[in-house]
């Protein structure tokens, strides 16, 4: 992750060097840069190489849309968003699925096209990774060990390797799970930290920066995981942001499987019932979180303040066997991104609210801030 963080910081340094206000802040839209860093990190982790969004400064990936077809450029984040919107809609309206490709509505036609484009992006990434592995083997070089390497070397019960189409599908799952989820949450965390600071000046950002300054050397361009993984106030800020901005926009359905059904607070749900409660609803229930439920208050996560019911109700990664398997990686990324940014820069919030677009995930529409390199950071 360090290489991608350094590329991210170089781009932010470049933008910060052209201030647009008398106070020295440069105006920047942070949502794209949260997207670029998240996509390049998951590209590195899952496919062995970043997608190159940070270097190019734009949402652009190589894709192969037809078998043996030419390599073209496609917008990765936009493709993922459109695919997520149509997939969540068809998932909730299953009767439409067989007819979706014939519906004269660009929402469905563009969404289904994006699903094919996303498969094309994964196809190119997998092909490049396999080519680089074969090249390294031929040269006698040490191979890189990443998620795709484990998938390539996996064998079924008969000792057969994973078929190429299945390999691409598995890699695509990594891309879907680890890209916009992190970028959306990182952007929302920036917003809520700055929003909380604006609501109560001196209560959030100075405390966060003091904690980061004590852990990260002043001459470090980025934070390391060892430096930020156990910082309590940083973790409380991230948890509070995830409470206020749920990763998924819809409730994840669960089917009642016991023959006797399920009883909850006097209500009986028979076997086969589909139950679903959005995280947004749980995380903003005043009966659970108190009258200040809409406020950004990291100290609600202090052990002495957190109730047993609040611990149970906090579910940004869902629960049970279908819970997010990458939550530890997500926490690592968020700590590194937020820790690096607030250690290196000052920010100024330029908007009142964070509007979001809802598909399967909850994606911030835009997020404008001022950015300025902190005075104690070497030029």
**DSSP letter for each residue of 89-115:** HHHH-GGGGGGGGG-S-HHHHHHHHHH
Question: What is the spatial distance between Cα 199 and Cα 188, in angstroms, rounded to a whole number?
Answer: 16
Is 6 exposed, middle or buried (CB count within 10 Å of its CB: 0-12, 13-18, 19+)? middle
One pLDDT digit (tens) per residue for the chain, 379 residues:
899 999 999 999 999 999 999 999 999 999 999 999 999 999 888 888 899 999 999 999 888 878 778 888 888 888 888 888 888 888 878 888 888 888 888 888 888 888 888 888 888 888 887 776 555 555 555 666 777 777 777 787 788 888 888 888 888 888 888 888 999 999 999 999 999 999 999 999 999 999 999 999 989 999 999 999 999 999 999 999 999 999 887 888 889 999 999 998 899 999 999 998 889 999 999 999 999 999 999 999 999 999 999 999 999 998 887 788 889 999 999 999 999 999 999 999 999 999 998 878 889 999 999 999 998 666 6
Exposed (0-12), middle (13-18) or buried (19+): which is 13, by Cβ within 10 Å? middle
Q: Residue 171: which of 130, 135, 137 has the closest Cα?
A: 130
Question: How many independent structural domains does the chain possess?
Answer: 1
pLDDT reported for residue 143: 61
CATH of residue 324's domain is 1.10.630.10
Assigned domain for 264 exists:
no
Q: Residue positions in the annotated binding site for heme?
A: 324
Residue 135 confidence (pLDDT): 54
231-234-236-240 Cα dihedral, nearest 10 degrees = -160
Residue 267 lies in a domain: no
Q: Is residue 12 part of a domain?
A: yes
Whether residue 100 lies inside any domain: the answer is yes
User: What is the residue range of 23's domain?
Assistant: 2-247+278-373
Annotated binding site: 324
Instruction: Give a yes or no: residue 170 inside a domain.
Output: yes
Domain assignment of residue 255, yes or no: no
268 within some domain: no
Burial of 171 (0-12, 13-18, 19+ CB in 10 A): buried
pLDDT of 137 reads: 52
């Amino acid at each position: 992750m360090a290489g991608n963080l350094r590329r991210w910081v170089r781009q932010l340094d470049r933008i910060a060097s052209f201030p647009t206000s008398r106070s020295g802040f440069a105006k920047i839209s942070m949502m794209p840069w949260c997207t670029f860093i998240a996509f390049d990190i998951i590209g590195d982790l899952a496919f062995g190489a970043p997608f190159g969004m940070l270097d190019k400064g734009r949402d652009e990936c190589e894709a192969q849309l037809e078998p043996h077809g030419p390599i073209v450029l496609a917008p990765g984040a936009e493709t993922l968003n459109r695919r997520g919107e149509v997939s969540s809609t068809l998932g909730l309206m299953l009767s439409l699925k067989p007819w979706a490709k014939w519906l004269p509505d660009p929402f469905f036609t563009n969404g289904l096209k994006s699903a094919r484009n996303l498969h094309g992006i994964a196809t190119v990434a997998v092909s490049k990774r396999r080519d680089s592995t074969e090249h390294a083997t031929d040269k006698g070089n040490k191979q890189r060990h990443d998620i795709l390497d484990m998938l390539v070397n996996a064998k079924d019960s008969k000792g057969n390797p994973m078929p190429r189409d299945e390999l691409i599908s598995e890699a695509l799952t990594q891309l879907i799970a680890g890209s916009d989820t992190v970028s959306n949450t990182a952007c929302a965390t920036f917003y809520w930290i700055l929003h909380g600071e604006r609501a109560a000046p001196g209560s959030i950002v100075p405390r966060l920066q003091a904690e980061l300054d004590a852990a990260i050397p002043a001459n470090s361009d980025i934070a390391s995981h060892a430096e930020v993984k156990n910082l309590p106030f940083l973790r409380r800020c991230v948890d509070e942001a995830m409470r206020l901005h749920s990763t998924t926009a819809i409730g994840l359905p669960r089917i009642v499987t016991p023959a006797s059904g399920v009883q909850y607070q006097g209500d009986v749900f028979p076997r086969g019932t589909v139950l679903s409660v959005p995280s947004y609803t749980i995380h903003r229930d005043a009966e659970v979180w108190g009258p200040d439920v809409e406020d950004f208050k990291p100290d609600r996560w202090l052990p002495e303040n957190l109730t047993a019911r609040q611990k149970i109700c906090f579910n940004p990664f869902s629960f049970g066997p279908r819970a997010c398997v990458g939550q530890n990686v997500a926490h690592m990324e968020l700590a590194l991104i937020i820790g690096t940014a607030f250690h290196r820069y000052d920010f100024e919030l330029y908007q009142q609210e964070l509007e979001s677009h809802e598909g399967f995930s909850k994606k911030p529409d835009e997020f404008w801030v001022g950015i300025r390199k902190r005075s104690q950071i070497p030029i």
